[in-house]
Structures are given as structure tokens and as C-alpha cells.
Structure 1
Amino acid sequence: MRSSDAGEEGGQDHRRGPDGPGSSGDPDVPGDPARAPERADDTEPESLAAVLGGWRASTDAALPPIAFVVGWLLSDSSVGWGAVAAMAVGLALAGYRLAQGKRPRAVVLGLLGVAVAAVIVLRTGRAADFFLVQLATNAASALAWIVSIVIRWPLLGVVVGTALRQRGRWRRDPALLHAYAMASWVWVGQYVVRVAVFSVLYAADAVLGLAVARAALTWPLVAACVAVSAWVLRRSLPADHPGFRRPREPAST
């Protein structure tokens, strides 16, 4: 692989990168397996970060809740104005991302989450209820990741394998399957941390605290989660393994 190719790949990832999966993250930009590294070297953690996505989706997810709280505070605790502010920011972000060429499905899902939160808070009249969607989706995500590990379909492997168009080859590599399972526990921890913090603040009706936590536990936590899971993935693989981009096929008998 030529150094110019590596530089080109890094430039593309920087320009096109988006957080974190799915429920809570958005692995939106797959790497290019045609230009994968020839060996598992020091570029592997950055490669995993590129596959899983960058900071943009995390920032997008945090802005509408912050707009809700700002609108709520400026309007003397009116959940109606808070909901209007959140939807306005959500629509503006959606339009901006569509203009950038982001996949419509991801944009629609993000906007749908804001709309559901706005409907809930308008029906209950309690400002803290705007964050119920985040609390519920993070709890569901933690459960889904745990189940995926137990049934030996770790979601980190599913996400990365799908992004790299590996189909099921990663599951036929026992070492890589084990490594993905170990690294997936890092993502479980991410969701558990959010659920714990959000639950305490929600029970205390701490609306401003929920907004601060929503921002603090979005991009910074996702960035830490990607870095730690990349480290765990590498440490869990044998020293001679070529890396997650190159699953080993089982020896034919």
C-alpha cells in the first residue's frame, strides 16, 4: 500500500466522517476495504474510529436537547417554546445534513427522535420528560449489546463487518469473534453510564443538569468509547493477527 493512498484515505475519512451506533451512535462512513492496511499496525485504532464515524452525529444529537432547555429557560419555563426551539434546531440540522449528502434515513431517524421527545413533553408538561427518549434508547441499547454478546453476534462486529462489506467472514474467525465480544462490553458500559446519570437527574427533575449531561455524555463519551474499544480489540487479538479489516478464514479440512 503506498503512503499516498494512506494519506488519501485519511483525508476522505476526515471530510466525510459523521457518533456512535445507532441507537446512540451512527457508524455512517464505512472504510474502504480495497485500501485496507496490509498488517495490523498503529493505524488500526484510527481505522476503527473512521469506520464507526466521527463527531458530527454526536454533536447533532446533543444540539436539539440543548435548544429545548435554552428555549424553556428564556420563555419562563414554557415547554411549548422549548419544544419549538428543539424542532427548529432539529429541522435546520436535518436540512444541513441532507444538503451535505448524508443518508436520508439517518437524518430522518434523528429528526424523528426530536419530534417524539417534543410530543412527549407537550403532553406531560414536565420539562424533564423531553429526555425520556434518550433514557429509553440508551437502556434499550445496553440490553441489545448485552444480548448480542451472549448469542455470539457482538454488535461491534456486526457494525464494523457491515461497514467493511465483510458479510459473515468476521464470525468465521474465532479470534476476531472473541475480540469483538470483548470490545463490545466497552459499548455496553457507555450506555450504562448514560442510563445511570440520566436516571438520577431525571428523578431529581434536574432539567439543566440533563442538558449538560446530554452534551457531556455524547461526543466526549463516544470518542472515549471508540478509543478504548479499539484498544481492547487490538489487545484481544493474537499478536500475529492481521487486524479486523482482514478476518482469517478457517482452515479447510
Structure 2
Amino acid sequence: MNEEPTPAATPEPEHRPSFVEAISANSKVAQNADGGIDVLSTVGGVRGILETVVPGFVFVIVYAVTSQLSWALISSIALGVVFMVWRLATKSTLLQSLSGLIGILICALVARTSGNARDYYVPGFFISAGYLLALMVSIFVKWPLIGLLFGFIRNESLSWRQQPDRLRRYSIATWLLCAVFLLRLLVQLPMYFSDQVVSLGVARALMGVPLYALALWFAWLISRPVQGVEAAAEEDPAA
């Protein structure tokens, strides 16, 4: 008696991450053991901060001392290369140092093309303006980017969008990041137009990663769930 062949099991459809899940996965937002945000790891650690801040700071120091644009550019680029070699020597990821070196090269190209040291900082203005615009648009369309970054880390997925208080908190947190980029433009653009290269360089260093990290930490605190309210809602679903 011939047995009927057992039908093959239908494979489960492969889960493909959505666009917002992809944003969260690539955000590199790290948590500490207590479940809070690890700001230092999120911004790349001590090495990441050095790679971001020091080349621009060295550029302005060398320019202030020598008044030579060429030497300032060479020093900045050389330092970017040193950081990249350091990454290679320690067998760590090259992404941050490579992106940092590319950024330095773009800034150097703009300054060399114009022949004016202050133009070294022009690409940064466009980056700040771009982030500011993206953050503001995300708030207006009720998809605040901080919610997309923090929501999956907190296992909220996208449920926070259906809760007015959570949506409001994530919107406020995103406005906080908007304030960082807006403040950079308000402070640094007048320095640029008045040709205050040294002051601009110092402001760029101080208002870069340190200010961003501080705002990110406050954004995490502002947007954290109110545990008492959530527990009450779970106990009384009809509330």
C-alpha cells in the first residue's frame, strides 16, 4: 500500500525590517546595564569623540599660530590619517574614522578652493541645517525621529504613536535636538560672516559632540515612560 507523500511544510515568510526598524538598527544608540542610554558609547566612545573634535581643533590652532591655511589643512588631514591608522593597528571598525577623514577632506577642499580658512566650516553649516530640517519635518508629520530611535530600544515598537502622552514626549525630545542644531547656526554663522576663524573653530569644537551628547541624554530623560501611569493603565484597561 503506497503511502501518500507528506506535503512539504510551507516556509514562514522571511521578516524584512521596515524602514523605521532600519533607522533604529543603524542608530547605534547604546544602553548601559541599568537600561539607560550610554551616551559615551553612542557617540563613539572616547576615541570617537577625539576623531570628531580634535582634527578641527588642530586646524584652528595651527592656523592661529602660523596664519597659513596650507599648514592648517595639512595638519588636520594628517591627524585624520593617524586616527585611521590607529583603527587599523587595533583591528577595530574603520567606519567612524573613514567617515571622519572624508569629512575633513571635504572641508579642506572647500577651504582650499576659496582660499579662506573660515570656509573650512561651511560643510558643517549645511549638515546642521539638514539635520534641523529633517528633525522638524519628522515632528510636523508626527513621526518624531527620537521616537524612532528610542522606541525600539524601549521595546515600544511603534505603539508610542498611538499614545498621545508618548507622542508628545518624543516630540519634545526631538525639539531638544532641533535646538542643538539651531543654536549651532545662530552662534556660528555670525562668527563666519565676521571672519572670526579662531572663535568659530572653538565654538565648533564645543558645540559639536559634547553638546549633542548632552542633548541626547536629556532627550532620553524627557521621553522616558512614566511607570506609574503605565502600570495603572495595565491594571485597569477600561480606564
Contact in 1 for aligned 2:40/2:213 (Cα 8 Å): no
| 195, 202, 212: which one aligns with 1:205 | 195
2:91 is aligned with 1:118: no
Decide whether aligned partners of structure 1 residues 161 and 108 sit closer, same or farther in structure 2, where only a CA change above 3 A counts.
farther
| 148, 154, 165: which one aligns with 2:144 | 154
| Alpha-carbon distance, 1:100 to partner | 4.7
Contact in 1 for aligned 2:29/2:149 (Cα 8 Å): no
- In 2, the alpha carbon distance for the partners of 1:99 and 1:165 equals 36
Q: What is the SS of the residue equivalent to 2:229?
A: coil
Amino acid at match of 2:147: G
- Structure 2: where are the runs of 5+ without partners? 1-25
| Alpha-carbon distance, 1:194 to partner | 0.7
- Structure 1: where are the runs of 5+ without partners? 1-25, 36-42, 243-247
The alignment of Structure 1 onto Structure 2 pairs a total of residues equal to: 206
Contact in 1 for aligned 2:135/2:145 (Cα 8 Å): yes
Among the aligned pairs, what percent are the same residue?
A: 24
Amino acid at match of 1:216: L
Q: What is the SS of the residue equivalent to 2:37?
A: helix
- In 1, the alpha carbon distance for the partners of 2:49 and 2:96 equals 12
| 216, 221, 239: which one aligns with 2:228 | 239
Deviations 1:89-122 (A, max 9, x none): 1111233245555543333222111110000111
| Alpha-carbon distance, 1:227 to partner | 3.1
Deviations 1:179-213 (A, max 9, x none): 22221111000111111111011011111001110
2:118 is aligned with 1:128: yes
Contact in 1 for aligned 2:61/2:198 (Cα 8 Å): no
TM-score normalised by structure 2 residue count:
0.72
Counterpart of 1:222 in structure 2 is 212
Decide whether aligned partners of structure 1 residues 58 and 146 sit closer, same or farther in structure 2, where only a CA change above 3 A counts.
farther
Decide whether aligned partners of structure 1 residues 188 and 72 sit closer, same or farther in structure 2, where only a CA change above 3 A counts.
same
- In 2, the alpha carbon distance for the partners of 1:122 and 1:71 equals 15
Contact in 2 for aligned 1:176/1:237 (Cα 8 Å): no
